[in-house]
Structure 1
Amino acid sequence: MNLSDTITPTRFRALMAGFPSGVAVLTAADTTSGRPWGMTCSAVCAVSLTPPTLLVCVRVGSPTLDTMLRAGLFAVNLLHDGARATAELFASGAPHRFDQVRWEQGRGRGGPHLVDDAHTVADCVISGHQVVGSHTVVFGEVYGVRQHRVPRPLLYGLRRYAVWPHDGEEVPPGHTVT
């Protein structure tokens, strides 16, 4: 039995639409020109606490993926609940998306930080990658975390954006706002 024949891409998308996730923008900078690249991504997952490692899944052929792999570094900008427009912008493929948001690229960062739109940014060094069908799974060892505000994540599921309910203004234990 060929398992891939039983589930169509449409059915698989419907399955995953019922599993909401947070929304991130992956960013990287071209090592030669310094040009920033970025894309919206909801396929982000913690892999290990020691070493602290994330995985992200990026479409094969994506210029952001190519830049990440060449640079060996990337940033995961976890978007806050007011950043839907930025999520849509970076999902659109618009060529000048970095002209429409405020971002910072500093020494030691994995990629540009979207300072107005991300509640937290993780800087990662690529520790491995594997092509799986139409996507590449990229493993990033987290070497820096910068929190810009209290985490109130933007969510995506059922083919629409949503926000986490607010029931307090306290910063969770172990978190700091910089």
Structure 2
Amino acid sequence: MERLSPEAFRDVLGHFASGVTVVAALDEDTGEPVGLACQSFASLSLEPPLVLLCVAKSSTSWPKVRRAGRFGVSILADDQRAVCAAVGRSGPDKFRDVQWEPAPGGAVRVAGALATVDCELYAVHEAGDHWIVTARVLGLTARDGGRPLLYFRSAYATGEFA
């Protein structure tokens, strides 16, 4: 069997549109938000209510979110590209220009998101160069209206829905 190149893998799988989220918690040491942009997010189970996300092992933010144990997943709206860019970059002060609010229990919610899912870490599994993270859902919010921010073929896109 021929080895797949990372470029071909990324190109072909990029044809699957995915939503864009911010996964964030309060840092135990500083009390400030820490987090990452994540497009690998999905519902997993109704009973118990679980979600899953996939995080690169190279992420420097994930260990801080993991240590917090509770985190929020904010499903971004199509007008939140700047939020994704800010939180998706490396380095400190990712939330400097991002409006957010704390949720009960230490989750962080991005203001203006289409929806938020407050989570508690359930399990982490190793999978290649990523971690598969499962989390128990503790709370949910959703706003009326709005369209999702999507990622499609290595670029942002918006969904047109009836």
Give the TM-score normalised by the residue count of structure 2: 0.91
Q: Is the 8 A contact 1:115 1:148 kept in 2?
A: no
Matched residues in 1 for 2:144 and 2:91: separation?
A: 27
Q: Could you list the per-position Cα deviations for residues 83-132 of structure 1 after superposition, in whole angstroms to 9, with x for gaps in the alignment?
A: 111112222225222110111114334x211113x111101111100111
Unaligned runs of 5+ in 2: none
Matched residues in 2 for 1:7 and 1:42: separation?
A: 22
Q: 2:148 aligns with which of 135, 146, 153?
A: 153
**CA RMSD for the aligned pairs?**
1.7
Structure with larger Rg: 1
Q: Is the 8 A contact 2:116 2:142 kept in 1?
A: yes
Matched residues in 2 for 1:127 and 1:154: separation?
A: 27
Q: 1:93 aligns with which of 90, 93, 118?
A: 90
Matched residues in 2 for 1:61 and 1:125: separation?
A: 22
Q: 2:57 aligns with which of 56, 60, 64?
A: 60
Higher strand fraction: Structure 1 or Structure 2?
Answer: 2
1:130 aligns with 2:125: yes
1:74 aligns with 2:76: no
Unaligned runs of 5+ in 1: 168-178
Matched residues in 2 for 1:91 and 1:33: separation?
A: 20
Higher helix fraction: Structure 1 or Structure 2?
Answer: 1
Runs of 4+ in 1 over 6 A off after TM superposition: none
Give the TM-score normalised by the residue count of structure 1: 0.84
